[in-house]
Structure 1
Amino acid sequence: MKSKHLVPAVTSLPQSPQAEADHRVRRYALTMTIRIVCFALMMFVQPYGWYTWVFAAAAAVLPYIAVVFANAGSDSTETSAESPLQEIEAPAAAPEEPSSSPSDPQIITIRESGRDDA
């Protein structure tokens, strides 16, 4: 029976530093674009009302949020370490039969003789 070997997947690797930096810049630019739109809506939507204060608050808070999001790394995605080694299954070894020839003894005995020089 053949078993499938698990090969480390390229998709389990973290993002490259350049791709992560590009993602941060795009996220910052999007947040700052929303801020500009909020600022424009605050200035040009008439008559002024409660929504003017919402636009003003968003225009004031979004720079902080943009910087925090831009500086935050991609810690939200967990990657697990994968071993680059592949394990190969070895066939089961046949049990060795004991040989009964006198030239291949099963037990080896080592005896040491002690000297008493005292």
Structure 2
Amino acid sequence: MTSSSIRSVDEAVPITEVRVGRSDDIEMRQRRYILTMTIRTTCFGLMFFVPGLWKFVAIAGAAVLPAIAVVLANNRDNRSQPVVRAQEPAPTLAISPGQVIKGEVDETDR
């Protein structure tokens, strides 16, 4: 852990910046996968009981759902780590005023 990623103890973390715990994230992905594969299994079963066009819809669902299940299962929480905010505002840098030389503009042709 670098010193720039350490938060002070008193600083609160906004809840929208907090990641889901690793075990909770894995559990949610497993549930999505199981649900999608259950729907796929249902599509396989429906192929034997539905007539006509619905049979092709069930076949298409059974063929496409494994890819969708894998994509959903591999989708993890990609939120970045919370940004560390500085305790004091950084001083603004400015160019100091220079010496003013008074004079006139001579616009005569040379």
**Which category of TM-score, normalised to the shorter sequence, fits these structures?**
0.5 to 0.7
Match 1:61 to one of 37, 60, 64: 64
How far off its partner does 1:57 sit?
0.8
1:71 counterpart residue number: 74
How far off its partner does 1:7 sit?
2.7
User: What is the total number of aligned residue pairs between the two structures?
Assistant: 79
Gaps of 5+ in 2: 1-9, 89-110
2:84 counterpart residue number: 83
The whole-number CA distance in structure 2 between the counterparts of 1:73 and 1:34 is 22
Amino acid of the structure 1 residue aligned with 2:34: A
The whole-number CA distance in structure 2 between the counterparts of 1:14 and 1:7 is 15
Post-superposition CA distance 1:19-72 (Å, at most 9, x none) = 110000000001011111111111112xx2111101001011111211121012
Match 1:37 to one of 39, 42, 46: 42
2:4 counterpart residue number: none
Tell me, yes or no, if structure 1 residue 19 matches structure 2 residue 24. Answer: yes
The whole-number CA distance in structure 1 between the counterparts of 2:38 and 2:82 is 38
The alignment's TM-score, normalised by the length of structure 1, stands at 0.55
Post-superposition CA distance 1:97-117 (Å, at most 9, x none) = xxxxxxxxxxxxxxxxxxxxx
The alignment's TM-score, normalised by the length of structure 2, stands at 0.59
Query: What percentage of aligned pairs have identical amino acids?
Result: 39
Amino acid of the structure 2 residue aligned with 1:40: G
CA contact (8 A) 1:42 1:56 kept: yes
Gaps of 5+ in 1: 89-118
CA contact (8 A) 1:8 1:83 kept: no
DSSP 3-state at the match of 1:83:
coil
